[in-house]
Amino acid sequence: MIATSSYRLGVSEFTTNPWPFERDVERYAAHGLDAIEVCEFKLKQGQGFGKQLKSIEAAGLMVSSVQTTVHSLFPDSLAPTPADPRERLRAMFESVDRISRHVPQGTPFVVITGAAPEGNCEYVYEFAREALPRLADFAAESGMRVAFEPLNPILFHTDTALWGLDAALELVENIDHPALGICCDTWNIFETPDVASVIRACGKRIFLVQLSDWRRPRNNADRIVLGDGCIPTVKLLSALRAAGYDRPYVIEIFSAQTLPDSLWNGDMDAMLERNVVAFERFWQESEALV
């Protein structure tokens, strides 16, 4: 890292979507990053993926988290099929089983609700209350964990039936499973009322933090580099530190290639470095607020 060792900074493979897995590992390490969020869609089928995952440690990186190809209980924009939530849950079980053999104990696997069929959020909520403990049980058997992620309300009807960090905390507290926690993605949660207090209330239930910045989006995959938008990142970092979060902070930026200024079409090495520099500045500024 460019300065202090008091935090660990990683990148989700969604951030460098056009790059293959091997380039992700090589370039993240070259930028002095500490961690990688593995996206299953970049892994090889069959047996080859084990060698890929082994290369992470060899490059001096840790695995912050995993995004399975099917990671929502109901269809979402990234994985619209299968439609049946029971089949989707089975797919998540299979992915956890496949990947957990090759990542460190305690690694969180991210899960979201997906979109509510016919707008029936109550049905999705009740299904989640039944499915998430089962998924957490299964993950725990392999020493893994599950991080439930509430999404931004603009993703309602496409990717989520639940938004707001307060709503996610209520769900996770009601289930009360030691292997089930929360993924705090700043782009998704920053508009939660009294968000700093809610973050502190989450405490050790926060298994993962993801970061990007916000401008009024032109589609559902239009995030920007830290410091280029209006998210109060310093305020959120100070709350996360006060909550006791001590795992990697992960840059996760979606930037659809159909956008005229898509980050995925530009110099992604420069984009990574800009995020590294911005995070270091925000971390130092958050010191005074902790």
CATH number at residue 134: 3.20.20.150
CA 120 to centroid of chain Cα atoms:
25
pLDDT for 3: 37
**Dist CA 235 CA 13 (whole Å):** 26
Digit-coded pLDDT (tens) for 96-138: 999 999 999 999 999 999 999 999 999 999 999 999 999 999 9
Is residue 245 within 8 A of residue 236, CB to CB? The reply is: no
- Coil, strand or helix: which one is 209? strand
Q: What is the dihedral of CA 153, 155, 103, 6, to 10 degrees?
A: -40
pLDDT for 1: 37
Reference 155, options 254, 34, 24; nearest CA is 254
Number of domains in the chain: 1
**Dist CA 234 CA 180 (whole Å):** 27
Percent of the chain at pLDDT above 70? 98
Q: Is residue 35 part of a domain?
A: yes
Q: Which domain holds residue 58?
A: 9-289
| Start-to-end Cα distance in the chain | 22
* Helices and strands of the chain, counted as H and E runs: 9, 8
Digit-coded pLDDT (tens) for 161-193: 999 999 999 999 999 999 999 999 999 999 999
Q: Is residue 203 part of a domain?
A: yes
Q: Is residue 1 part of a domain?
A: no
- In which band, very low, low, confident or very high, does the pLDDT at 6 lie, cut at 50, 70 and 90? confident
Mean pLDDT of 32-47: 94
pTM given for the model: 0.96
Reference 183, options 158, 149, 213; nearest CA is 149
Q: Is residue 85 part of a domain?
A: yes
Q: Is residue 197 part of a domain?
A: yes
**Dist CA 72 CA 128 (whole Å):** 10
Q: Is residue 60 part of a domain?
A: yes
Q: Is residue 133 part of a domain?
A: yes
Look at residue 5 and tell me whether its pLDDT is greater than 50: no
Q: Is residue 13 part of a domain?
A: yes
Helix (H) or strand (E) segment spanning residue 145: strand 145-148
